[in-house]
Amino acid sequence: MKKKLHFSIRSRHLLAVMVILCIGLMLLSFSSEKAAKPLRSGAGVVVIPFQKGVNRIGTWFSEQFAGFQSVKALSEENAELRAQVDDLTAKNSELAQMQGELNRLEALYKLDQEYPEYNKVAAEVISKDPGNWYSTFVINKGSEDGIKKDMNVLAQGGLIGIVTETGGHWATVRAIIDDTSAISAMASITSETCIVEGSLTSMNNGKIRFQGLRDPDGQVVEGASIVTSNISENYVSGLLIGYVSDISLDSNNLTKSGTLIPAADFRALREVLIITDLKQTRENED
């Protein structure tokens, strides 16, 4: 072993110092949310460009791969025309890629038309939570693009989440299927309110839970749509969350609860729309 000439710390002491540091950081960020804000913004500046780059490469690969599968089928059929097929498929995959993009953007445009009363900005998803416990993701628009905390986020089909944090050109979005998400919602037929909660247990079947729905006349049946309620603090009203999948009376005989299938597609999450109108509340009223 090399004899170290400079000051050397024992691993036991290093462990103690670092553990105390971590706990200190936790207490600090627990007591005030703002304490870690500058650090986080700094980290965003460093990390985001890399994630954007790698993500673009990944997208390119997965799209190339999708094109490749169609090449395979074609070349088996037309072995003698392979040369021609190769030439055509190169163009074909390029077109398929463009077509896929067109379809996605068209769907996004349609979504934009569905809620004409709100102003929206489109953004791309660039990275997702590294663990398997939370459903949060980062998009490529941030405070400098006019994105603010608590703005609602839509994706193909309906509501997908809410902005929880913003940086220069990035923002963190918590998905509605996240275990810590809870939304004040209502059944669009009766306007009776309920709470829609994300949960890991039901997310496994692609569903989210709702509870506390008053429905004395039994009007809310399977397939009924649930939208964000007008009394929600953070969500603007009338955004489609999903459709009731099953519903049952609670043991209190007053309210009903059950699960709903989210309208937004969480599997192929690529482009999202952010509603730039914040819910008007007493605090943010100018």
Site residues, another protein (CB under 8 A): 2, 9, 11, 14-15, 18-19, 21-26, 28-30, 35-36, 39-40, 42-44, 47, 50-51, 54-55, 58-59, 62, 126-136, 138, 172, 175, 177, 179-180, 199-201, 203-204, 206, 266-269
9 class by beta-carbon count within 10 Å (0-12 exposed, 13-18 middle, 19+ buried): exposed
User: Contact, 150 vs 162, CB < 8 A?
Assistant: yes
Q: Which is nearer to another protein, 2 or 72 (CB)?
A: 2
Minimum CB distance to another protein, residue 176 (Å): 11
Which is closer to another protein, CB of 180 or CB of 280? 180
Give the residue with the Cβ less far from another protein, 169 or 236.
169
- Coil vs helix vs strand at 239: coil
Min dist CB 168 to another protein, Å, is 13
Which one, 113 or 204, has the nearer CB to another protein? 204
Minimum CB–partner distance for residue 49 and another protein (Å) = 10
Three-state DSSP at 107 gives helix
Q: How far is CA 9 from CA 1, 14, 115, in A?
A: 16, 7, 61
Gap between the Cα atoms of 183 and 181, Å rounded: 7
Shortest Cβ 18–another protein spacing (Å) = 5
Query: Which amino acid is residue 224, in one-letter code?
Result: A
Nearest one of 282, 273, 280, 283 to 152, comparing CA atoms: 273
- Pick from 280, 273, 275: nearest CA to 119: 275
CB nearer to another protein: give 128 or 279: 128
Q: From the CB of 268, what's the least distance to another protein, in Å? A: 8
